[in-house]
A and B are shown apart, each in its own frame.
Chain A
Amino acid sequence: MTTDLSDYVASREAILDQVRRILRDTMKLKIEPQAIDPDAPLFGTGLGMDSVDAVELVIQLDTVFGLQLSGSPEAFLKIRSVNTIVDAIMEMTDES
């Protein structure tokens, strides 16, 4: 693995791990964080989050990462799966 790829994966996995823990705690899931698949849908099917969970998740993402999501549909698109959340955090980090 090249250094750049190795660094990218390490950075991504660190954020992924944190987001999984936030989801587990937000939804009070009694599973290991690793059991939350990165591409599992968060709403509807998948983890089956509801609007209350979403509010709590948005607060946690702001508190832990400084990721600010408005109530717009576009903002909702950033929290469709664990991976889309990680994308948004990495994008924010790259921009700052």
Chain B
Amino acid sequence: MSREDEYRAIRHSAALSRMDHVGLLRLMGDEVMEAVDAVCSGDLWVRDSRMLQTLILDDRGQPLADVYVCPDDDACFLLVEGITSEELSALLARHVDPELDAELEDLRPDHELLSVHGPYAWEVLSKWLTPDIIGLPYLSFYRFDRGICFRAGKTGEYGYDLMLRSADAEEVRGELLELVTSLDGAEVSLEALDLCALENGFFSVRHGSVEGLTPMELQLQWRVSTRKRFPGVAAMEQRRARGIGRRLTHFVARDEVKSGDVLRGPEAPVGEVMTAAFSPGVGGVVGTALLDISVAHPGIDEFFASDRDPASPIWTVSSPMLLNRSLLVDPRRHTYATRDGETDPPLWQGSLP
């Protein structure tokens, strides 16, 4: 299976993947939200059975972990990328009042996470689980006899994460793969999911280095509270008072550009490439660059990667870059079999340098 085939499954039909990189944890007790609130950077305004995206920062204000907080009665599920369950346990021990009634449980030994992404992922889940799944709102979850279905995803397409008992996971994987392949989909790698996340502007702890960068440079201020105390809050307050000199900006390029390449403007260096990857949908390279704040805007066509010979021009663009199929596919009217021109316009509406 080529990366292009994997990409096509995610962007055009449905894709199954194992989410072994995601930590599955549960806090139990009467004061679980107070415990989660103490370590996460965001305001945890989230109801039972809904999900909220937040971060865990280190003392310098840099993201350590990308977290979904999922409260459920007197428990709270945490889907965590970037740190291990042991590291999260250590953070809780350091920052949470030991008197609070909240006990952390690592669900990983007995549970696995499978995901289905794509504009027709809902069709797979409606056949495998229940047609009612079509009505499950984004960032909410649903319990069923074999586990929990989280409606989430970081690809810009419909996305469902299934937390299953390990004993059931292999059988379920086979069932889902059969449904996915019936829609011309495929099983896809984490690299393919990461590419789609990059195209849609989702933060990933695996996209380039965050060394020296806080949520302000990373355009993640919406995940950071201005009302409460949390790890890294002092660094964030200092950064807010001082202002930022650089900001993450998305770009496209026709030719090869790599992480670490210096970007120059007509007169001087303007920043450097953080992450870059070839996008089959764009037909060129997509990426993020850390640009001087004075020029960290989309719509600029004057920069080039100076380390290349010849220098490779880049154009800054707004995020999200793509016209995702999932925005046009309506589960009440469309199916993969009856898809048409209405749901299949070009993913990329722009042009390349």
Q: Which residues of A contact B (CB under 8 A)?
A: 1-2, 5, 8-9, 12-13, 16, 31, 35-41, 44-47, 73, 76-77, 80-81, 83-84, 86-87, 90
Residue from the set A12, A40, A86, A90 with the largest chain B CB neighbour count within 10 Å: A40
B320 at the interface (CB under 8 A from A): yes
B264 at the interface (CB under 8 A from A): no
19 contacts between A and B (CB under 8 A): A1-B265, A1-B266, A5-B265, A5-B295, A5-B300, A5-B302, A8-B300, A13-B297, A38-B297, A38-B318, A39-B250, A40-B219, A41-B201, A44-B139, A45-B139, A45-B222, A81-B201, A83-B318, A87-B318
B327 at the interface (CB under 8 A from A): yes
B220 and A37 contact, CB distance less than 8 A: yes
Nearest-Cβ distance from residue A93 to partner chain B, whole angstroms: 12
B318 and A1 contact, CB distance less than 8 A: no
- Among the listed B53, B318, B327, which residue makes an inter-chain contact with A39, where contact means beta carbons less than 8 Å apart? B318
A45 and B53 contact, CB distance less than 8 A: yes
Closest 6 CB pairs of A and B: A83-B318, A37-B219, A39-B319, A39-B219, A40-B222, A44-B138
A16 to B222, CA, bound (A): 17
B295 and A1 contact, CB distance less than 8 A: yes
> Given contacts A39-B250, A45-B53, A45-B139, are A83 and B319 in contact (CB under 8 A)?
yes
Q: Which residues of B contact A (CB under 8 A)?
A: 53, 138-139, 201, 219-222, 226, 248-250, 265-267, 294-295, 297-300, 302, 318-320, 323, 327-328
A38 to B293, CA, bound (A): 12
Contacts of A36 in B (CB 8 A): 221-222
A50 to B329, CA, bound (A): 19
